[in-house]
Amino acid sequence: MQKYSAVNLFKHALKGNREWPRAWRDVGPRKAYDVLIIGGGGHGLATAYYLAKNHGITDVAVLEKGWIGMGNVGRNTTIVRSDYLLEPNGQFYEFSLKLWENLSQELNFNLMFSQRGTIYLAHSEDQLNEFARLGNAMRVRGVDSELWSRKDVRKAVPLLDCSGDARFPVHGALVQPRAGVVRHDAVTWGYARAADALGVDIVQNCEVTGIKSVKGREVRVETSRGPVIGKKVAIAVAGHTSHLAAMIGMKLPVEAHLLQAMVTEPVKPMLDQVVMAAGTHVYVSQTDKGEILMGGDLDFYPSYSAKGNLPRIEDVAALTIALFPAFSRLRLLRTWAGITDMTMDGSPIIDFTAAEGVYLNGGWCYGGFKATPASGWTFAEMIATDQKPALVEAYSLDRFRSGGTLSEFGAGPMPQLQ
């Protein structure tokens, strides 16, 4: 791997930038590997990277049905934060945020990580009380959080409508200063390049069509590019986990829903932080290109279409304009949707499966992007050691049977409401 540095940048600039090497090799699958990872998204690539880096397992292939960066890793709103109420989630996402903080250096790839802070708006006194509780829960476990008054919010985000007659009056906010955004494509490419440099094969256009696991033998995976044998097979296919689980005869507590996001035309810097609204569930930030990036609720009915509906776009735009009247003159440039694995309690699953040698990582709902490094780290540890790391002990499949569900909002077993 050629190191990305100022010196190399200068050298290549002299040659017209025509001689940069490939970031990762384009390879076909070999017949057998120690570990096969199904899914070349953020989680799959991170798992491959940490398997090689932390555990010295380099005979690894990542099988991706499309191309790297096509799936949910390139469809999210790039927000990373760790403002969770429940202890297992709080610990896990904080570990993830700590990994994010050093990831650009570790991968030698500029991820454009920007800790610009998340401002979680409260639209009533009760919501502000709830945020005080959430903020305290975060502080108890050593995570940064601040409770802001309306005056503080108005000072930090001058474009926000903080007036008394605003449609959604601002009563204050919970702020996590260390939270922020990361450029999601760079995360994918960074992990792919670093994993490839450690010897991992990244196989694109390779769709898995069947998994055969027989006790005491290696796992055989049928793909669109021929059969591949793996001593261990790891599933990390956000959005399509149920199909892969069906191949090994499992039914999961997961339902596929669509989550949309959208950007406006690019404008000059006008929003420095990530602003999220609790009551209306909309989140807004400005990308480095200058686009105003918005996201909101799910489409609220199951779908694998990867195309969102118009009412949700209208909702998100209307809510954003209610918060930021100045954005009303911007034109919408692009909208897109991602298929999310919505679980029955809103928390993910990292666990062993009924099939020997097959490991499961999924059910990330709409919060999988911020989990990418920690998910890869813990999943790799689980695959390498066959022990479940303490950090993801709670993300088990049997929590639904035992009553140990992890529901941040207490919404009940309704995947669309998490």
Partner 1 sequence: MQKLHCSWCGDRPQSEFTYYCTEEGIPGKKSRKQDDEHDRIYLRSNHVGEHVEIWQHTLGCRGWLRVVRHNVTHTIRKIVRINQKAKAARS
Contact residues: partner 1, CB under 8 A: 242-243, 246, 251-256, 300-305, 309-311, 344, 400-401, 413-416
Local structure of 316: helix, strand or coil: helix
94 versus 351: smaller Cβ distance to partner 1: 351
For the record, the structure tokens of 361 come out as 């990582």
- For 15, 124, 293, 417, the CA distances from 297, given in Å and listed in that order, are 48, 20, 14, 9
Q: How far is the CB of 314 from partner 1 (least distance, A)?
A: 9
Kindly write down the DSSP assignment for every residue of 166-186, as one continuous string: -SS---EEEEETT-EE--HHH
In sequence order, the β-bridge partners of residue 271 are none
Quote the CA–CA distance of 297 and 299 in Å, as a whole number: 7
> Nearest CA to 377 among 38, 51, 62, 101?
51
Q: How far is the CB of 408 from partner 1 (least distance, A)?
A: 17
154 versus 243: smaller Cβ distance to partner 1: 243
For the record, the structure tokens of 230 come out as 């793996």
143 versus 247: smaller Cβ distance to partner 1: 247
Q: How far is the CB of 39 from partner 1 (least distance, A)?
A: 17
Q: How far is the CB of 23 from partner 1 (least distance, A)?
A: 33
Q: How far is the CB of 245 from partner 1 (least distance, A)?
A: 9
Q: How far is the CB of 403 from partner 1 (least distance, A)?
A: 10
Q: How far is the CB of 208 from partner 1 (least distance, A)?
A: 15
61 versus 317: smaller Cβ distance to partner 1: 317
218 versus 297: smaller Cβ distance to partner 1: 297
Q: How far is the CB of 41 from partner 1 (least distance, A)?
A: 18
Using a 10 angstrom Cβ sphere, with 0-12 exposed, 13-18 middle and 19 or more buried, the burial of residue 396 is: middle
Contact (CB, 8 A) for 235 and 63: no
In sequence order, the β-bridge partners of residue 282 are 277
135 versus 253: smaller Cβ distance to partner 1: 253
Quote the CA–CA distance of 335 and 341 in Å, as a whole number: 20
387 versus 402: smaller Cβ distance to partner 1: 402
For the record, the structure tokens of 369 come out as 């992007």
Quote the CA–CA distance of 25 and 210 in Å, as a whole number: 25
Kindly write down the DSSP assignment for every residue of 77-102, as one continuous string: --EE----SSHHHHHHHHHHHHHHHT
269 versus 403: smaller Cβ distance to partner 1: 403
DSSP state of 331: P
Quote the CA–CA distance of 277 and 300 in Å, as a whole number: 19
